[in-house]
Chain A
């Protein structure tokens, strides 16, 4: 059985007299034990999808099953099997960390005794010892996030949903949290996360799909996706703007695709080592002056760029 099974999931909102389709029919399945990622810019429909899967938002159309339980028909059972850490976090900041853990444990049906035991082991796991009895208002961003992860997993969920788990964290805390997520995976948990950080998707996810404007535009392992951008990428930066840089590479069999952003031109090529000299010659023979030329492997951002015509970095992702 798959951990998550989604068929033609749709959601639209009625905003200011207009019907806005936030999720336009997505299909996917996530296997047990996978770390699966939703990568996309803000407003792509990632969070809306996640909120439907976690029973927070009614499903308009389509079907979603979590460990076989139908989200629409059996939300209560789904809730028992999932953990969720939202973008907003969900720490009760007026209470201590321990009170947060105890309340949640008991809402999930644990006895006071097992709630206490479970809280202790999570405090240990997420290194919360020094702060757990302080009012959560006083926590730093990283501390609060760790508590929230603890709140998300205290009932041993089969799937953990993380909505933008590292947004707002500094690099050190981000790496720290990545390690915690890897530990959860190692313990057999299925993790479903959304992110607009490419590095995060690349680093953590076994498989991911790229989402834009309510649809899934690509799906696969990070390396599969990068291979879709077959070959290498040559980036050249011109000294001056050039009007029709695309046309001078027309008919060149090395160059598969071109993306122009002002003076920065990305050429997707089959084999970088072979294409570089040719590209250099073409540039020279057209009397174009170069600032720099470089060769690189495509990143997930290039996959995104290829599919949507825009860079993820330009669409609201902050780095």
Chain B
């Protein structure tokens, strides 16, 4: 057990060093959510009559954007895996006696930590514009979204190992990303959607996390919505991590 934690730690550190040496990635990761806040959220003000205050808009909008950020960051894992397949790094690591779970988790944890770092910056900027910060709610939200990004990262990494080509991975992920994000109420709450969309949204795990994130960011922790989100996300995390570890074990021609 100690051994696996140590392996995860050194593999995680490798990925963090790699990220720090490529500051462009950090920058791009941050710029998307900030652009949404600055260039999209003002549009939402006048949707209501009377117009909403900036702070009301941000309270609804920021949690959704953080979910989107988790989704996008996690989905880049597969491309990095393909990169390392091509340089043979994955192969070299797989030939070592290191635990396959550790090989997976090094990347997953890096994605989680990078996401948390970016989120804190986004929240700070949103706070300057009038976003209401509820610390405890936000902390629970971070736990939920960390699980979400673990799912996406492990899934994306596993798919990368299976498909091995940037092109095929990109088409699969894009094919999934748009419907999943649109049907989760990332940008606007699903309560604005017609009945049929709300029904479909219920089979979308992302929908539950987005709904719960809004409630948590509003400061309410003890809620059925939050409970439901964890009830959906925790088993999904276990399943995807297990599956992706298996892929690391079995791969690859």
A residues with CB within 8 A of B: 13, 54-58, 76, 79-80, 82, 84, 86-95, 99, 103-104, 106-109, 135, 151
Contacts of A86 in B (CB 8 A): 88, 91-92, 95
Give 17 pairs: A residue, B residue, CB < 8 Å, sorted on A: A13-B253, A55-B95, A56-B91, A56-B94, A79-B95, A86-B91, A87-B88, A88-B86, A90-B88, A90-B89, A91-B88, A92-B14, A94-B17, A103-B11, A107-B10, A108-B97, A135-B21
Contacts of B17 in A (CB 8 A): 94-95, 99
Within 8 A of A (CB), among B125-141: none
Does B111 sit within 8 A of A, measured CB to CB? no
Chain B 93-116, CB-CB to A under 8 Å as 1, else 0, gives 111111000000000000000000
Contacts of B21 in A (CB 8 A): 94, 135
Within 8 A of A (CB), among B1-15: 6-7, 10-11, 14
Contacts of B97 in A (CB 8 A): 76, 79-80, 107-109
- A20 CA / B128 CA spacing, docked (Å): 62
Interface size of B as a range: 20 to 34
Does B191 sit within 8 A of A, measured CB to CB? no
Among the listed A79, A92, A109, which residue makes an inter-chain contact with B89, where contact means beta carbons less than 8 Å apart? A92
Contacts of A87 in B (CB 8 A): 88
Does B252 sit within 8 A of A, measured CB to CB? yes
- A120 CA / B229 CA spacing, docked (Å): 51
CB within 8 Å for A57 and B22 given contacts A92-B87, A107-B93: no
CB within 8 Å for A94 and B92 given contacts A89-B87, A107-B7: no
Q: How far is the CB of B238 from chain A (nearest CB, A)?
A: 23
- When A and B form their complex, which 9 residue pairs have the shortest distance between CB atoms, in order from nearest? A88-B88, A90-B92, A90-B88, A79-B97, A107-B98, A94-B18, A84-B95, A107-B96, A89-B88
Write the chain B residue with the least CB distance to A48.
B253
Q: How far is the CB of A93 from chain B (nearest CB, A)?
A: 6
Known A84-B95, A86-B92, A92-B18; 11 more pairs at CB < 8 Å: A13-B253, A54-B95, A55-B95, A56-B91, A86-B95, A90-B87, A90-B92, A91-B88, A94-B18, A104-B92, A151-B92
Does B202 sit within 8 A of A, measured CB to CB? no
Contacts of A93 in B (CB 8 A): 87
Chain B interface secondary structure, helix, strand, loop or mixed?
helix
Asked whether A91 lies within 8 Å of B89 as measured between CB atoms, the reply is yes
Write the chain B residue with the least CB distance to A83.
B95
Asked whether B253 lies within 8 Å of A57 as measured between CB atoms, the reply is yes
Q: How far is the CB of A63 from chain B (nearest CB, A)?
A: 19
Within 8 A of A (CB), among B62-94: 84, 86-89, 91-94
Contacts of A57 in B (CB 8 A): 252-253
Q: How far is the CB of B18 from chain A (nearest CB, A)?
A: 4
Asked whether B91 lies within 8 Å of A88 as measured between CB atoms, the reply is yes
- A82 CA / B22 CA spacing, docked (Å): 33
Within 8 A of A (CB), among B28-43: none
Does B228 sit within 8 A of A, measured CB to CB? no
Contacts of B92 in A (CB 8 A): 84, 86, 90, 104, 151
Q: How far is the CB of B22 from chain A (nearest CB, A)?
A: 7
Write the chain A residue with the least CB distance to B92.
A90
Contacts of B91 in A (CB 8 A): 56, 84, 86, 88, 90
Write the chain B residue with the least CB distance to A135.
B21
Among the listed B14, B89, B96, which residue makes an inter-chain contact with A99, where contact means beta carbons less than 8 Å apart? B14
- A187 CA / B88 CA spacing, docked (Å): 27
CB within 8 Å for A82 and B87 given contacts A56-B252, A103-B14: no
- A168 CA / B7 CA spacing, docked (Å): 33
Contacts of B18 in A (CB 8 A): 92, 94-95
